[in-house]
A and B are shown apart, each in its own frame.
Chain A
Amino acid sequence: MKLTRGEQVASAINYILLGLLGLLALAPFVHVLAQSFSSHRAITSGQVGLWPVDFSFEAYSRVLSQEDFIDAFQISTLRTIVGTLFNVTMTSLMAYPLSKTYLKGRSVMMFLVVFSMMFGGGMIPTFLVVKATGLLDTFWAYIIPGAISAFNLIIIKNFFQSVPVELEESAKIDGGSNLGILFRIIIPLSMPAIATITLFHAVGHWNAFFDTVLYVTNRDLFPLQVYLRELIMFNQSGIDNNSGYSANMDSTLLAMESLKAAALISSTVPILVVYPFLQKFFVKGLMLGSIKG
């Protein structure tokens, strides 16, 4: 397939613009990465840009050797895997019937889903329900109260709807049940969308922290984000310290900026790795291939 001259120029510009955007997006990350390998002194005197100063692994060895870090990391991983599986299953199960335009009561239900996105009971009523359902202080407090995101449900329903009806009809004639059609036809054909919400939920679980504050008191269940926030908080002192809350004064010598950066990198990289694995589902032409296969 040949491109015209104009298309070639446009394509070149496209490559360059994307490249620039990529660099612009990479820069802050590299900055934090550089900090994580630098000394506290170099960071606090503003010497660290995109390259480490006083290179050392010390910050990482300190973050990673903490038993608390490992524990929290395990909780976060478990939560992300179990939670995401649960989310995707629940969402798909609900989205499939809702994608059937002929289903009675569908639009009422869709409205109620959208409505629930905007009106919430707030922190305490939700807490009371979580408590009443016996989830307080259990691992399931991380999983069940956020089982379905209305936003993702609507996205998935939308994608399911775009699967050609004929495919389904023919499967039905072959005697397939609804559940069978969902798992054998709809979901394989909607893999890009499934991959998308998998990513959204996985990142959401990985980064979540507030549900721990509200629902979990057992420190053994604390995830990585809580560990990270406590580490950073412990090392912080405000600029406007009129409250007298200088409780962490003793830590100022420990207040290693590099420690914060290393903690951030160590907690972000694991979730970043998920995306490249899901990327293959965004490849063009997937639909055609799976229909033929």
Chain B
Amino acid sequence: MSAIQIAENGTNHEFTVKPKRKRFQFIRSHWDLYLIMLPGILYFVIYKYVPMWGAVIAFQDYNVFKGIWGSEWVGLAHFKAMFLNEDFYKIFRNTLLISIYKLLWGFPGPIILAIMLNEVRNMLYKRSIQTLVYLPHFLSWIILGGILVNVLSPSSGIVNKLLEMLGIEPIFFLTSTEWFRTVIVASDIWKEVGWGAIVYLAALAGIDPQLYEAAIMDGANKWKQIIHITLPSLMSVIVTLFLLRLGHVLDVGFEQIFVLYNSLVYEVGDVIETYVYRVGIQQAKFSFTTAVGLFKAVIGLILVTLVNKGAKKLGQEGIW
């Protein structure tokens, strides 16, 4: 019950800060719009914002049994523990590098794929390929990891057999510190590119065909059509997804790393998530895990806010 009370206070609060009368009039004339939103707002308040006070356990020595009110306050101790860990710099660097590579190579992947699919005229072919490319999304990393180990094996893997035919020495991809991140990024693209393309396909479906017809009349070739019509039409989706992606810049995908890394590549493969897993599994370290999550979220929030501002300056919508 208290949750609902907070919800009401929350909404009232929002609309009563500024000049009262104008605001009130606006709300009165658009009351139905606000009413439509109400279930959604209640949902966010109850299931997202009420539990959020739980984040204070980052500053406590949280004891499940005693709860948040009974647990002891420890200030920044958990943050200190994280920053003072001798490996922290290395772990942070790895996380950032893998994330940036994934962003750099992985983010454009679905856009390119969607455009490529969009250029296919044969509907059967288009639909079949669309259906095929999203299949790996449904397989877990445990399965794909097992397959990758076999495919990349220096003695029996097909990749190294191909390299051998080209006269290249077998490469030990998964234990080589030089290759490990490449494998992580490439296999992530392989798994998720088709799935990621779906949003863009939806956006492409919304483009008015008349635009293309007009362009063809003007003598624009395919390439020009892509540059001048397709890409600009996708731009707002691209910006939105990019912003949302930035918010999770320090999440690199625990399961994938965990399945693929091994003691020879800890140097380049140990990331924040594997670190938290290691520390967290030892005990139910809720406070520590929360502190790390808070840290990641703050970094994400700063990035999103900055880029959102930048995007707005460049004439894009931004998220808020």
Chains A and B in contact, CB within 8 Å: yes
Chain A interface (Cβ within 8 Å of chain B)? Answer: 1, 3-4, 6-7, 10-11, 14-15, 17-19, 21-26, 28-29, 31-32, 90-91, 93-94, 96-98, 100, 103-105, 107-126, 128-130, 132-133, 144-145, 147-148, 151, 153-155, 158-159, 161-162, 177-179, 182, 190, 192-193, 195-196, 199-200, 203, 207, 264, 268, 271-272, 275-276, 279, 281-288
B18 nearest CB across to chain A (Å): 9
> What would 21 A/B residue contacts be, using CB atoms closer than 8 Å?
A14-B120, A15-B120, A18-B129, A90-B39, A103-B30, A112-B44, A116-B48, A118-B248, A122-B51, A122-B54, A125-B55, A129-B46, A133-B3, A145-B47, A147-B40, A153-B40, A154-B319, A162-B236, A193-B206, A283-B205, A284-B205
Q: Please, how many angstroms separate the alpha-carbon atoms of A6 and B224 in the complex? A: 13
Q: Which residues of B contact A110 (CB under 8 A)?
A: 319-320
A50 nearest CB across to chain B (Å): 11
Main secondary structure, interface of B, reads helix
B132 with A25: CB separation less than 8 A: yes
Q: Please, how many angstroms separate the alpha-carbon atoms of A24 and B136 in the complex? A: 9
Q: Which residues of B contact A281 (CB under 8 A)?
A: 202, 205
> Contacts A124-B286, A285-B209 known; A98 to B44 CB distance under 8 Å?
no
> Contacts A26-B132, A26-B135 known; A119 to B113 CB distance under 8 Å?
no
Q: Which residues of B contact A132 (CB under 8 A)?
A: 3
| Chain B: interface residue total (CB-CB under 8 A) | 90
Contact with B39, one of A19, A94, A100, A195 (Cβ below 8 angstroms): A94
Instruction: Beyond the given A32-B139, A115-B301, A196-B201, please list 14 additional residue pairs across the A-B interface where CB-CB is below 8 A.
Output: A21-B193, A94-B39, A113-B44, A114-B304, A118-B247, A118-B304, A119-B55, A121-B54, A122-B293, A128-B51, A192-B203, A193-B202, A284-B207, A287-B207
**From residue 30 to 50 of chain B, which have CB atoms closer than 8 A to chain A?**
30, 32-34, 36-37, 39-41, 43-44, 46-50
Task: Determine if B106 is an interface residue (Cβ-Cβ < 8 Å).
Answer: no
Chain B interface (Cβ within 8 Å of chain A)? Answer: 3, 14-15, 23, 26-27, 30, 32-34, 36-37, 39-41, 43-44, 46-55, 57, 64, 68, 113, 116-120, 125, 127-136, 138-139, 143-144, 147, 190, 193-194, 198-199, 201-210, 216, 221-223, 236-237, 240-241, 244, 247-248, 286, 289-290, 293-294, 297, 300-301, 304, 317, 319-320
B310 nearest CB across to chain A (Å): 15
Q: Which residues of B contact A182 (CB under 8 A)?
A: 36
Closest A residue, CB atoms, query B37: A97
B221 with A7: CB separation less than 8 A: yes
B205 with A147: CB separation less than 8 A: no
A275 nearest CB across to chain B (Å): 6
B39 with A105: CB separation less than 8 A: no
Most B CB contacts (10 A, CB to CB) among A3, A100, A158, A281 go to A158
Q: Please, how many angstroms separate the alpha-carbon atoms of A173 and B37 in the complex? A: 23
Q: Please, how many angstroms separate the alpha-carbon atoms of A193 and B237 in the complex? A: 11
A192 with B206: CB separation less than 8 A: yes
A7 nearest CB across to chain B (Å): 5
> Contacts A120-B51, A281-B205 known; A104 to B132 CB distance under 8 Å?
no
Q: Please, how many angstroms separate the alpha-carbon atoms of A30 and B170 in the complex? A: 26
A28 with B119: CB separation less than 8 A: no
B135 with A29: CB separation less than 8 A: yes
A283 nearest CB across to chain B (Å): 6
Q: Which residues of A contact B139 (CB under 8 A)?
A: 28-29, 32, 264, 268
Contact with B15, one of A4, A105, A159, A195 (Cβ below 8 angstroms): A105
B129 with A19: CB separation less than 8 A: yes
A155 with B194: CB separation less than 8 A: no
